[in-house]
Structure 1
Amino acid sequence: MTGRSPLTAPRRPRIRRAGPRPRRLVATGLALVALVLLCAASLYVGSRLVPPTTVSRILIDSLTHLGSGQSSPERARALGVIAQDYSAVVDLRLPRTVIALSAGAALGVAGALMQVLTRNPLAEPGILGVNAGAAFAIVLVIVLLGVSSPVVFVAASLAGAFVATLAVFLIGTLGAGVITPERLTLAGVAIGAVLAGITSAFRLSNPREYSILLSWESGDLSQRGWETALPALPVVLAGLVLALALAGPMNALLLGEDMAASLGANVRRTRFLLVLAITLLAGSATALAGPIVFLGLMAPHVARWIVGPDQTRLLPLAALLSAVIMVLADVIARVVMWPGEVPVGIVSALLGAPVLIVLVRRRRASGL
């Protein structure tokens, strides 16, 4: 008997094809490193020149005496530094960094959720009128009530986002009783256009309040401190946790309604929870940083290009990338016209537009 028996023939070595995991790990690692460096730059760079050694001492002291109840001037005297330097780091730069991180992550995840909900790869949080509703509510409390408290802004933003979402659902189901991505998209665009028009009318009819509205609408973070960040952070966290919990049902929903139902996913409940998560994230981000554009559209596209459509991998990376872009935009906003500043909303738009143009021209980035 010639030849080798199949039982004794040597096996061919198994060749493992390189999947997306190495690229995902490299991208996540680079994004984390970039985020850490940018956060450090955000804490050490500002319109007021504070020596790096002084910034380090102030940060260590503020973390050591967290919750002590002492004011910034008291801690500055105890530490032996200038009170203005201590306040610039603890009361301005630190909360501003937290706001940029939180708003960026919220917008990135909200955009990813929106693209799954509407099954539209070019969707972003404003497509359901959530941002328009939040902005409209804030304009109302500024113009009609004369209130400029950040705590009131957060409450009004969330209330406006919820009301706008409810209106979109009512209009989207009117006469049919069936919620479809097409109906939600059309209703959201209509509601957003109406609310944006009314907001513009209020702004133009109240020149005295125009400076406040312009500062908020342009995404100016220079005057936002802990009183803005602390009320919105729990809402952002709740939205992020809810979004991550929906990653599995979202993967099923991407396969189509019938396939998702056959896999055991409750399509109606998943859509409702998606809208709730989008409302929490987009509403809180709008209250924190104003109506920032492009982040909710750009970050999910970049994440999808790196890790693919799996939402369990896409959502964390989208949050990370969006936070990186937001903090980068904030740092650039401080130094590009130093000692003055540019609103971060303008910088984020300038950063996002070229990247978005490149992404939509890529075949792989154009679909879900």
Structure 2
Amino acid sequence: MSTRTLPAPVVARAGHRRLTLGLGVAAVILLLLMAASLSLGAENVPFADVWQSLTAGGTDADVIVRGVRLPRTILAVLVGAALATAGALMQALSRNPLAEPGLLGVNAGAALGVVIAMAHLGVASLTGYVWFALIGAGIATVAVYTLGSAGTAGASPARLALAGAAITAALTGVISAIVLLSSTVFNGFRAWSVGTLSGRTAPVVIQVAPFIVVGIVLTLFLVSSLNALALGEDAAKGLGANVGRTRLLGVVATTLLCGAATAAAGPISFVGLVVPHMVRTFTGPDHRWLLPYCLLAGPILMVAADLAGRLIARPGELPTALVTAIVGAPVFVYLIRRRRMAGL
């Protein structure tokens, strides 16, 4: 019997079971990748030693597992969740399927905040970058939405994309001017801007985790409003959604997620763009399922990319941003050519 001949409630329950099962499978995949991330690298550590180090300590592997790989793996999970969630949120708010932190100027704003902190305030540590990256990301986000919403026509996907491109170009020019005036700032910015999780320790994780957690909670709070907004502003208002509050809280959540993730790992491309589209091919546009899946799919991609970068070039490693770009670009092209972009 085809699904067309089944009663709607039966079809709905089957779909609910499928999506719930998918979340469980994704969670298992993420846990396996995290275990592999703790075990594999320039020097492989047996899983038994990893478990012993995590549960009891006192092993020769403590320095590698607890000191280096555990913070790095946790940060990969946080950054992946933050970027994927921010991408889905920005696509919903702007109703633009190409919206992501890099396109709408958020990464450039965060980068400018970091550069100013390096050049004029003497900040030289990753933990010191966070506040400046958040401020820069917030200013850029507000500027893009203000510029894209100016005039009687209001905001539209095309206007927001153009505003994001203009703000990104302007901020990139300012960043280039600053870093070229100082070799010290240039070297520091170059090391940060490659987009990597290498060298990130527990203090960095502790610094950015609260911002990312608050941003995720804010986004999940907006689930119903985002579903209503997908129907258009007039329909959303008719359904009782507070469009102004939704956009304001969405901007705050985007700033927290992108600013913290970019401050910790540098600019990471394609995660915020590709992951929501990949998830939509399975869940559809319903944010009640889309966002939880993004919270798992984003970390899966980040942990896998970080692990691949360590294994491909060991004993050295490839920057995580390079791996996500190599993987993300062809996947995105495939989604466009074969499946078309899933509706928002």
Matched, 1:315 2:291: yes
The one-character-per-residue Cα deviations of 1:177-199 (angstroms, maximum 9, x if unpaired) are 95555443332221111112222
Q: How does 1:329-340 map to 2 (within 5 A)?
A: 329-340=305-316
Q: Which residue number corresponds to residue 139 of structure 1?
A: 115
Matched, 1:274 2:250: yes
Q: Which residue number corresponds to residue 40 of structure 2?
A: 45
The answer to whether the Cα contact below 8 Å between 1:244 and 1:315 also exists between their aligned partners in 2 is: yes
The answer to whether the Cα contact below 8 Å between 2:107 and 2:267 also exists between their aligned partners in 1 is: yes
| Distance in 1, Cα, partners of 2:83 & 2:211 | 13
Return the offset for 1:91.
1.7
Q: Which residue number corresponds to residue 206 of structure 1?
A: 182
Normalising by structure 2, we get a TM-score of: 0.91
Matched, 1:297 2:279: no
Matched, 1:306 2:282: yes
Return the offset for 1:47.
2.1
Larger mean Cα displacement after TM superposition, 139-148 or 324-333: 139-148
Return the offset for 1:235.
0.5
The answer to whether the Cα contact below 8 Å between 2:274 and 2:331 also exists between their aligned partners in 1 is: yes
The one-character-per-residue Cα deviations of 1:48-84 (angstroms, maximum 9, x if unpaired) are 344443322211125xxxxxxxxxxxxxxxx2x34xx
Return the offset for 1:150.
1.8
1:215/1:252 CA distance change after superposition, 3 Å: same
Q: 1:352 aligns with which of 310, 328, 332?
A: 328
Q: 1:102 aligns with which of 49, 56, 78?
A: 78
Q: What amino acid sits opposite 1:48 in the alignment?
A: E
User: What SS does structure 1 have at the residue aligned with 2:107?
Assistant: helix
| Distance in 2, Cα, partners of 1:298 & 1:56 | 33
| Paired residues, number | 337
Q: Which residue number corresponds to residue 193 of structure 2?
A: 217
Return the offset for 1:270.
1.1
Larger mean Cα displacement after TM superposition, 164-173 or 103-112: 164-173
The one-character-per-residue Cα deviations of 1:308-347 (angstroms, maximum 9, x if unpaired) are 1101110110121111000000101111111111111101
Q: How does 1:104-253 map to 2 (within 5 A)?
A: 104-174=80-150, 176=152, 178-253=154-229
Larger radius of gyration: 1
Q: Which residue number corresponds to residue 15 of structure 2?
A: 20
Normalising by structure 1, we get a TM-score of: 0.85
The one-character-per-residue Cα deviations of 1:220-246 (angstroms, maximum 9, x if unpaired) are 212111121111101000000010110
The one-character-per-residue Cα deviations of 1:206-259 (angstroms, maximum 9, x if unpaired) are 333433322211122121111211111010000000101101001000011111
Q: Which residue number corresponds to residue 55 of structure 1?
A: 50
**Contiguous gaps of at least 5 residues in structure 1:** 1-12, 63-78
The answer to whether the Cα contact below 8 Å between 1:108 and 1:319 also exists between their aligned partners in 2 is: yes
**Contiguous gaps of at least 5 residues in structure 2:** none
1:366/1:177 CA distance change after superposition, 3 Å: closer
Q: What amino acid sits opposite 1:272 in the alignment?
A: L
Return the offset for 1:176.
4.7
The answer to whether the Cα contact below 8 Å between 2:285 and 2:343 also exists between their aligned partners in 1 is: no
1:55/1:366 CA distance change after superposition, 3 Å: closer
1:312/1:366 CA distance change after superposition, 3 Å: closer
Q: 2:27 aligns with which of 15, 28, 32?
A: 32
| Distance in 2, Cα, partners of 1:173 & 1:123 | 15
| Distance in 2, Cα, partners of 1:249 & 1:20 | 22
1:320/1:51 CA distance change after superposition, 3 Å: closer
Larger mean Cα displacement after TM superposition, 168-177 or 318-327: 168-177
1:177/1:154 CA distance change after superposition, 3 Å: farther
Return the offset for 1:175.
5.1
- Amino-acid identity (%): 46
User: What SS does structure 1 have at the residue aligned with 2:121?
Assistant: coil
The answer to whether the Cα contact below 8 Å between 2:281 and 2:342 also exists between their aligned partners in 1 is: no
Q: Which residue number corresponds to residue 9 of structure 1?
A: none
1:153/1:143 CA distance change after superposition, 3 Å: same
